[in-house]
Every structure is written in structure tokens, then in C-alpha cells.
Amino acid sequence: MAVITVLGAGVMGTALTFPAADNDNDLRLVGTHLDDDIIQSCKEQRIHPRLKRRIHDNVKPYFYTEIAQAMQDTEVIVLGVNSRGVHWAAQALAPYLHPGHIVMMVTKGMESNDGELAILPDVLRANLPEGIRDQISFAAIGGPSIAGELAARHHTNVVFVSRNPDILPGLQRLFATSYYHVWSSTDMVGVEVCVALKNPIALAVGLAAGLVERKTKEQGPDVAKAQMHNYAAAIFAQGLAETAYIVNLMGGRPETVFSLPGAGDLYVTTQGGRNSRMGRLLGMGLSYSDAVEEMPGETIEGVDATIAIMPAIQTMIQSGKIDENALPLIRTMHHILTRNAPVDFDFDSFFASLPMFNPPVTRN
């Protein structure tokens, strides 16, 4: 049995308490300053209001003001804040970190750092005091994992990743159950790039549903009810190609892109959720500034990730580190989100980074 503290009481951080608690670990669920209503419900009713489930008896909820108590005797810290909260989380955790602690990140995303792309575990590490950052280990989770399904104890398959292979077997023992299947990897860059880029790509795939609705509204229903699955599939595939390009650029392993953290996680993210809903609104013809008004109070990680990584991508294109034709999907999405540009992809520019494909022949 281990003492595990989860910082961030959102759906994914809380869902992870289910397999860990089923393994008889001692779980402490600490809300951020934005989670008071969630923690209040968990304390009074033992119900997580967003998961709509009773939390495990082995889980004790804490307000953020009680973090010092929650961190006592902790061995593993699970970070479940959103990507905007990583810098804050480093400050929040720093006073309570001790040598030997393991910090495992659920948070997904990337940042631009001095003209280079940075994965969030490295961002977190860089924002911790120098005296402790080299005395703790960092891990992360990648793979298709819808929080509601995990909390329902449906079969879920993920990868735990760390640059320190010695900690992975212990983490697997703490969390793996008959329904939570955990592989391990040391490809921190590959896994983290995949899980960061899945959200912008899912946002782009979601455009297809909105385009169908818009066309139906303007022209009436298609006589044979034709959809735009071909359109969405090409974006899905180009997204994987661009992910592979960046993984290779940053020194990760390409095979990670075509397994659970890449193709698997991207598939499940395109099946619903906030990014798909935002994509649908954009596809319907709303500008991003108007679409945001339709989703008040929701953090759209695909938007945050696209905006966060673009400064580094632009710098790297200018310096020649990235081919100017390599990332048409991500660059087009950036224009749609920041310039209210129309939804219009140059499909003939896709797959330029794949040497096995020759450019397409375009006819009128």
C-alpha cells in the first residue's frame, strides 16, 4: 500500500483514484482553488458532481487550503490540473516535495520555451526549486482514457512513461487492475508529444461534423445523407503524420505515435468531448471568438496547445529546423483560431513529410 496524493479534482485526476484505491492504496484528492464545489460535494455526499459517481472509500478529499495535511507521508503525487496550471502547480507543490517523491502527470500539453518546443514534465521540473528538482522522479500517462469510462471500471489501456525506468514497475503495481491495463515506456518525449497534439488534431477532426451541419442548413439535406467521414479521416491521418514529424524532431520514438499514446489516444479524443464540440462550432461557420461564447467556462486544451506551441514552431521554421511545408494542419488551425480565418484546408499540401508519398496530381 502507498500514500498517493492527487492535485486537481477534475474528472481525470479523480478517475485515476478508482484503480489506485481498488488496490488498497491511501488516496488523498486535493482540489485546486477552482475545485471547492467539487471537494465540498465529495466531503459531504462522497459524490463527484462531474463524474456523477461515489468516490471510493479509500479516497479522502481535501480543499486546497488543506494541502499540507494531504501531503503528509505522500509517496506519489498525481498532477491532474489543466495545462494552464502547470506553473502554478510547481509553486503549490514545491514546499512539500521531498527526495524520492514521484510526480506523475495527467496534464497534457506543450509550451514554447526560448524558441524550442517543451513537454510539460520538463516545464514542471524547470519551475521547481533547483534543490529538489533533481531529487524526485517524473512520470506521465498516455493512452486512450475517458475519465467516465475509467471511473465505471471499463477496460482501459494506457502507457506509464518515465525517463527513470526503475520507478515504472512500482507505479504499475500501484495502479494496474483487472480493468486498468498499464504498459510502460521510457519514451517521455514521444508519449508527451502525442498526448499534447491529440487535442488540436481532435479539434480539427471535429470541424467535419460542423461542415455537414452548415451545408445541410444552407443547401438542404443530401439526397443520400452523405457525411464527411473522408474529410475527417484525412485530417486524422495528417495529424498523426505531423505528430510523427515533431516526435522525430524532438528525439522521440516514431513507433509511439502509432500505438496507444498516439493513434489510440487520438481516436478516443475525436469521439466526443470539448475539442470535438469546439471543432463542430467552427465548422458550422462561427468564428473562434463567437464559438467560445457557446462553451462558457470550459478549457479547450486543443486551443491552448495550438496557441502555446506556435511561437516555437514559427521560430524553428525561420531557423530551418522545421521545413516550412511540414505542418500544414497545425498552422491552418492556428490561423482559424487566432485570425478567425475560414475553415479551408489545402489537402494537396498534406503528407509532405511522408517520403513514401509523391505529391498528388490535382485536376479541375
In whole angstroms, give the CA distance from residue 22 to residue 168.
Answer: 19
Pick the closest to residue 197 from 185, 208, 205 (CA basis): 205
Report which residue type is found at 326: A
Cell representation of residue 76 = 506519489
CA distances from 298 to 96, 203, 264, 294 (A): 30, 14, 24, 10
Cell representation of residue 230 = 473522408
- The b-or-e profile of 231-254 (16+ CB within 10 A means b, else e) is bbebbbbbbbbbbbbbbbbbebee
The answer to whether residues 314 and 115 touch, using CB atoms and an 8 Å cutoff, is no
The answer to whether residues 194 and 262 touch, using CB atoms and an 8 Å cutoff, is yes
Task: Kindly report the number of other CB atoms within 10 A of residue 22's CB atom.
Answer: 16
In whole angstroms, give the CA distance from residue 98 to residue 95.
Answer: 9
In whole angstroms, give the CA distance from residue 187 to residue 80.
Answer: 21
**For the chain, how big is the Rg over CA atoms in Å?**
21
Mapping DSSP to helix (H, G, I), strand (E, B) and coil, where does residue 114 land? coil
Q: Which residues pair with 156 in a beta bridge?
A: 180
Q: What is the dihedral of CA 191, 196, 209, 280, to 10 degrees?
A: 160
Sole residue written with cell 452548415? 214
198 as an active site residue: the answer is yes
Give the active site residue among 43, 52, 60, 198.
198
Q: What is the dihedral of CA 324, 325, 330, 336, to 10 degrees?
A: 90
Q: H or E segment at 137? A: strand 137-142
Spatial neighbors of 12 by CB under 8 A, at least 6 apart, are 80, 106, 145, 147
Q: H or E segment at 59? A: strand 59-62
- Known catalytic residues are 198
